[in-house]
Amino acid sequence: MNNKNGFLDKVVLITGAAAGIGEAAARAFAAQGAKVVLADINTQGEQLAQNMCAQGQHAVFQVCDVSNSDSVTALFAFIENTFGRLDIAFNNAGIDIESSKLAEGIEDDFDKIMDINVKGVWLCMQHEIQSMLKNGGGAIVNTASVAGLGAAPKMSIYAASKHAVIGLTKSAAVEYAKIGIRVNAICPAVIDTNMYRRAAAGDEKKAHRIGAMHPIGRVGTVEEVVAAVLYLSSDAASFTTGTSLPVDGGLTAI
């Protein structure tokens, strides 16, 4: 078992773990010996956890809607009852909604995005911090976006939600820095997941345009994002808290 990051037997929660970046993170943590709790509203996560267990890894799935406080409370009761601790949390569940200029936005879309992307992260962080306070520390990584660092035309609600994730990240980082809880965010540009494939909608020209807007000339892979998550979760980042790390092929350098 590769334990180079010190994840062996650490209890790791990942939200939005049934697909995309969350799934890749779950696989990577488990491959390094962590006990991984996969949480998602999509019950396909159950099959994923079973497949991981069949490979000798430690994974368990819990259905959870991060925007619902009862559902989140039940998730953390499960973690407490099963493991009695939480070491690392990757708050990654999120949605985007295509795509209108601000004045044409729909109130229901606003509420849905804010409920999942912002309230979901906030609710999970509340429980995570309470649990980590009992352990004497821990590491939290939140999935923001390059849309949390600057403008996102026709995605203003999404951009607002990801700016809010960074606000939660920075504030909690400062509040809990002295008691050993580090809180950081990752800010991916476009990454090859269902979210991107839905946006490209099988249109090759559009997919090419999306890739070409990154200085590196392509969209990112889930593995490239997960590498940043593993770093921020590990002791290698012991002096890093409150940061929002772009994983963006140079996009925010332009």
- The answer to whether 227 contacts ligand NAD (rule: CB under 6 A) is no
Q: Binding pattern to ligand NAD, positions 162-181, x when CB under 6 A?
A: --------------------
Single out the residue of 57, 62, 131, 145 in contact with ligand NAD (rule: CB under 6 A): 145
Single out the residue of 94, 138, 211, 249 in contact with ligand NAD (rule: CB under 6 A): 94
- The answer to whether 142 contacts ligand NAD (rule: CB under 6 A) is no
CB nearer to ligand NAD: give 43 or 238. Answer: 43
**Residue 238, class by beta-carbon neighbours within 10 Å (0-12 exposed, 13-18 middle, 19+ buried)?**
exposed
In sequence order, the β-bridge partners of residue 101 are none
**Residue 254, class by beta-carbon neighbours within 10 Å (0-12 exposed, 13-18 middle, 19+ buried)?**
exposed
Tell me how crowded residue 33 is: count the other CB atoms within 10 A of its CB: 18
- DSSP string spanning 111-153? HHHIIIIIIHHHHHHHHHHHHHHHHT-EEEEEE--GGGTS--T
- The answer to whether 26 contacts ligand NAD (rule: CB under 6 A) is no
CB nearer to ligand NAD: give 33 or 116. Answer: 116
Rounded distance between C-alpha atoms, residue 171 and residue 83, angstroms? 28
Buried b (16+ CB within 10 A) or exposed e, 239-251: eebbbbbbbbbeb
- Helices marked H in 8-153 — which ranges? 20-31, 44-54, 69-83, 107-113, 120-135
Single out the residue of 40, 87, 128, 224 in contact with ligand NAD (rule: CB under 6 A): 40
Q: Binding pattern to ligand NAD, positions 44-73, x when CB under 6 A?
A: --------------------xxxx------
Which amino acid does the sequence have at 154?
Answer: K
Stretch that binds ligand NAD, among 16-24, 46-54, 79-87, 103-111 (CB under 6 A): 16-24
Q: Reply yes or no on whether 176 is catalytic.
A: no
- The answer to whether 97 contacts ligand NAD (rule: CB under 6 A) is no
Rounded distance between C-alpha atoms, residue 246 and residue 254, angstroms? 13
- The answer to whether 247 contacts ligand NAD (rule: CB under 6 A) is no
- Rounded to the nearest whole angstrom, what is the least distance from the CB of residue 158 to ligand NAD in the complex? 7
Which residues are known to be catalytic? Answer: 158
Residues of this chain that interact with ligand NAD (CB under 6 A) are 15-16, 18-22, 40-42, 64-67, 92-96, 116, 120, 143, 145, 188, 190-191, 193-196
